[in-house]
Amino acid sequence: MALTDTRPESGTEAPASAPAVVPSPLTIFGSGDHKAIGTVYVVAALLFGIAGWIISALASAHAISGLEFLSTNAFQTLFTLSRVGLILLVAVPFFLGLATFIVPLQVGARTVAFPRAAAAALWAWLLSSGVLIVANCIDGGIDGGRPKAVALGLLAIAGLVISLVLGTICVLTTAVTMRTPGMRLDRVPMTTWAFLVGGSIWVLTLPALFAEIMLVWVDHRYGAGDTFAADGAQWQAVSWISNQPQVYAFFIPAFGVIADAVATFTGTRLLKRTLLQTTIGAFGVLSLGVFAQTALAPDYDGQPLWIAMSVLIVIPVLLVFALIAPAFKAGKPALQSPLGLSVASLLMVLLAVVGGALLVITPLRLRDSGDLAIGHFNLVIAAALTAAAAGVMYWGPKMIGRRLADGAGKLAVPLFLGGGLLSGLAFFVLGFGNRFTALQDYSDLLLWVSILGDALISLGLFVVLAGLLSGTRQGAPEAGNDPWGTGQTLEWACASPPPTGNFGDLAIVRSPEPLLDEEA
């Protein structure tokens, strides 16, 4: 839909069997179609992700003895860019893109709410991403050396937050207000539910980041620059989004992708859905980490709330395992890549929350060096991206209209799992260096292991991108409405790719798996 066109909700209804049309790249620029917007987010996040993990590897390489190839300033900006970038340029927009694409389809809506605002959010995010990268290239960014470039970088982060929050609000509003008749909130597909939880947490916490960036910017641009914009203080204002519990918020939508993929590929209905929804909600509440920052509470890491949240969050992850496992027993798991990636993601996030729980045990002194926290971040983000990759391989045929080469997805499973474990666990081991001094002799080796892990994740993202693009190859079989044949939710009831307006007439939804009801 071009922005000058009639809004889909007020336009002519599209028949369910309308011919699938892949939009040309040129039409995407003026499009308010949620499918086009979501796809651009996903492709851009994949590209940024490939670069982001390479930057993360470079920052680790600088720490190896004798390899200090960056100035202190350059290292600091590179490190901070890798942390901020992997969240605001990769993990959040990756899930937001998937949600913008799939949530309207899952709830039976003809469009995303406020398509123009969703399109504006996408392009503002892309523009801000470009500005942030340019600012970092010219010695700007957080704690950078060139004042004007630093100001530019700060404004870019503010722009990223505003655009991501705007895009999230569009999807949340779609899920809350535009569900097809009969689809109560307890019947929405798990991806929609998990995005409702995760998106709500983002809307409540990312503005806090915006507020802190504004303080830094005002001090840097108009003030003396010796309080909020002082050296080190800039990173303090931002670093809380990469620490626990806030970093878990960027994983929440992954639970939905995993649950939907497991249901489809085991061919069974998920049991105890309400408990699963409550569990995802509990994980969301326990990831609300806006309080855990030095600007608000200088000694937050000694407070009972932070300790309790860090430990309790293990429970919902274990519960998700327990609630999803019966589907493997009851059904016949199809060995497709989205299922493999989902299981890999769950394993990684379980390790991450256990590591996070260890971090709060003061006698272990794991917070002294910060290494375990770096490994924890790497593991959580790797787990989130693995689930997002599962989403790409799962809904890719719906995006492209043709089946993807599943071999690419299957190759991505060991790349993500191996990459995430090496990247995260190497720093976990380094974190124990304070207690076991012999470990310090192996610190360079462990850093190399972590770099290898970063490279594998980067390669995994490249393979997933290639897998998505494989759907555009000549001779790829058409996806049809439901390429898996076991789809349970409404997105599999429309053509691939869905036509403008998505659906024709839909039945009243009477259960969380309307397509299974229809077949019964």
Partner 1 sequence: MSAHILPPAPPVQRPRVVVVATAFASAAAVMAFVTLLGVYLNKRASVIEAGSTWLPEGSTIPLQQPNTMLITLIMSVITMAWAVNAISKNDRVNAFLALGFTLVLGIATLVMTTYLWTLMKLDVASGAQGVLIYTITGAHTIMLVLALVFTSLMALRALGGQFNSREHDGMSAAALFWYAMVAVYALIWIIIYVTK
Would you count residue 419 as binding partner 1 (CB under 8 A)?
Answer: no
**Binding test (CB under 8 A) with partner 1, winner from 63, 96, 113, 309:** 113
> Is 299 buried (19+), middle (13-18) or exposed (0-12) by CB count in 10 A?
exposed
CB 90 within 8 A of CB 41: no
**Residues ≥6 apart with Cβ < 8 Å to 403:** 397, 471, 476, 477, 478, 479, 483
* Contact in structure between 403 and 482 (CB atoms under 8 Å): no
For partner 1, which residue of 29, 69, 130, 181 counts as binding (CB under 8 A)?
181
Rounded least distance, CB 202 to partner 1, Å: 9
Residues belonging to the chain: 520
- What is the amino acid identity at position 60? S
| Residue choice 47, 295, 312, 466 for contact with partner 1 (CB under 8 A) | 295
Q: Phi, psi at residue 224, to the nearest 5°?
A: -80, -15
Residue 165 lies near partner 1 (rule: CB under 8 A): yes
b/e map of 172-198 (b: 16 or more CB within 10 Å)?
bbbbeebbbeebeeebbbbbbbbbbbb
Closest CA to 125 of 93, 83, 100: 93
Under rule CB under 8 A, residue 176 binds partner 1: yes
Cα distances (angstroms) measured from residue 219 to each of 105, 132, 141, 239, 309: 45, 19, 15, 18, 33
| Rounded least distance, CB 176 to partner 1, Å | 5
Q: Does 180 bind partner 1 (CB under 8 A)?
A: yes
- Binding residues among 469-508 for partner 1 as defined by CB under 8 A: 480-483, 485, 487, 492-493, 505-508
> Which part of the chain contacts partner 1 (CB under 8 A), choosing from 170-178, 262-270, 309-317, 433-441?
170-178
Residues 201-260 that bind partner 1 (CB under 8 A): 203-208, 210-212, 214-215, 218-219, 222-224, 226-228
Q: Which is nearer to partner 1, 99 or 276 (CB)?
A: 99
Distance (Å, whole) CA 376 – CA 506: 44
- Per CB under 8 A, the segment of 33-41, 143-151, 172-180, 275-283 that binds partner 1 is 172-180
279 in Cβ contact with 320 (< 8 Å): yes
Q: Quick one: 23 or 147, whose CB is closer to partner 1?
A: 147
Is 397 near partner 1 (CB under 8 A)?
A: no
| Contacting residue, 84, 89, 103, 109, with partner 1 by CB under 8 A | 109
CA triple 368-373-374, angle to 5 deg: 115
- Distance in Å, CB of 35 to partner 1, minimum: 18
- Considering only the stretches 259-267, 272-280, 291-299, 457-465, report the one whose residues sit in contact with partner 1 under the rule CB under 8 A: 291-299
The answer to whether residue 520 forms part of the interface with partner 1 (CB under 8 A) is no
d(C-alpha 391, C-alpha 202), whole Å = 20
Cis geometry, peptide bond prior to residue 497 (ω within 30 degrees of 0): yes
Q: Which residues bind partner 1 (CB under 8 A)?
A: 9, 16, 108-110, 113-114, 165, 169-170, 172-173, 176-178, 180-182, 200, 203-208, 210-212, 214-215, 218-219, 222-224, 226-228, 290, 295-298, 480-483, 485, 487, 492-493, 505-508, 514-515, 518-519
